[in-house]
Structure 1
Amino acid sequence: MDEIASATRVTKRTLYNHFQSKDQLLACVLEAQNELALAAFATFGDQLSGSPTAIVDVLFRDLAVWADRPRWAGSGFTRLVIELADLPGHPARAIARRHKALLETHLGDLLKRAGVREAHRRAREIWLLSEGAISLMLVHGDRAYASAAADAAKRLLRSPSR
């Protein structure tokens, strides 16, 4: 809170007048970030059209481009949930969970429009590949995990429904 107060040029007392706790402040920041990220994904989602393979190609290509940014640190929502792993009831975790679920649902809707059977199930599997690629790109610093995940996603889409 000291650093936030200093950066915003207000006193800690002023911060606590607006936010009851550090956790509430974190939840408000994350909620605002959620809105920005959803708006960005909706815009990005406009590029995700055409065949299911084209959707996957763009999704993972853009993931690799995102990972190539200087000081890229992956998904803030995922990192935050990992940081708060021992606090399952933390409000920020609920926001992160809702955020990830909305993105997965949006991907499922896009896949359904592209004619994918069991689109929301496939979206969950593809989202899992995306999150795994993000984590491994952070660990290894190797963007090739995005293309490996894309290849796996395309195999999923080609596999017969169970």
Structure 2
Amino acid sequence: MDRPPSTREHIVSAAADLFYGEGIRAVSMDAIAARAGVTKRTLYYHFASKDDLVAAYLQERDQPNLARFRRWFRNADGDLGDRLQAVFQQLAKAASNRKWNGCGFLRTSAELANMPGHPAMQAARAHKKRVEAWLAEECAAAGCTMPKDLARQLMILLDGGFATVLMHRDPAYLEAAGMAAAALVRTAEAKRMSAVR
């Protein structure tokens, strides 16, 4: 039987809804306390500052987001290119929902661009590095040469797709990024095969 969420988890969940929906600068601690149904004293008991709460919001999204990418990849058929393209297609599907507001990690980073040492910036960077490491693992497992370089290029396509869809509100940009990702890994595979011959 699942345990009920703790007060801390309940606060983070309420903050996540508000931060993702409205942006971190637009949301006050009063609004978070009201959404969570707790007093500000309780809120500050669990989080010393709004900065700590913003970092917790991103930390809570880290593993679920990465697990979702892994699941989409694992459940797709075909070669590495097909499976990566499937991840982008699932993201495009998510982006077609009117409540989709882009990548929470990128949006938070944009709001805090002038504060590189902010704990939320550290959480965002850590998440993106974990996604990149996972991509490098999948590229290495598929026999790609220079998997770390390839993963970095895939990250550029992924984050570029997120940013462009958020700007234009057109999920087709993520689909196009997925096609580019598939072409990129197939080109890398073709080079590897020609080098073997």
1:50 positional shift:
4.2
8 Å contact kept, 2:82–2:182: no
**Higher relative contact order, chain-length normalized (CA < 8 Å, sep 6+):** 1
8 Å contact kept, 1:52–1:116: no
TM-score by length of 2: 0.74
1:116 equivalent among 116, 136, 144 = 144
1:83 positional shift:
0.6
- Residue aligning to 1:12: 40
Q: Structure 1, residues 111-160: CA drift from partner, whole Å, max 9, x if none?
A: 21112111221111011011111111111122221232233223322154
- Residue aligning to 2:79: 51
8 Å contact kept, 1:107–1:123: yes
Counterparts of 1:83 and 1:107, CA distance in 2:
26
- Residue aligning to 1:74: 102
Counterparts of 1:42 and 1:52, CA distance in 2:
13
Residue 22 (structure 1) aligned with residue 50 (structure 2): yes
Which segment is superposed worse, 82-91 or 17-26? 17-26
- Residue aligning to 1:87: 115
RMSD after superposition: 1.8
Q: Write the letter of the residue equivalent to 1:77.
A: F
- Residue aligning to 2:168: 140
- Unaligned 5+ segments in structure 2 are 1-28, 193-197
Give secondary structure in 2 for the equivalent of 1:31: helix
Counterparts of 2:84 and 2:140, CA distance in 1:
13
- Unaligned 5+ segments in structure 1 are none
8 Å contact kept, 2:58–2:104: no
1:17 positional shift:
1.6
Residue 97 (structure 1) aligned with residue 125 (structure 2): yes
Which segment is superposed worse, 47-56 or 127-136? 47-56
8 Å contact kept, 2:69–2:87: no
Counterparts of 1:47 and 1:106, CA distance in 2:
16
Counterparts of 1:47 and 1:119, CA distance in 2:
22
Counterparts of 1:56 and 1:39, CA distance in 2:
14
Give secondary structure in 2 for the equivalent of 1:70: coil
Q: Write the letter of the residue equivalent to 1:142.
A: D
Residue 40 (structure 1) aligned with residue 68 (structure 2): yes
Residues matched between the structures, number: 161
Counterparts of 1:8 and 1:143, CA distance in 2:
32
| Structure whose alpha-carbon radius of gyration is higher | 2
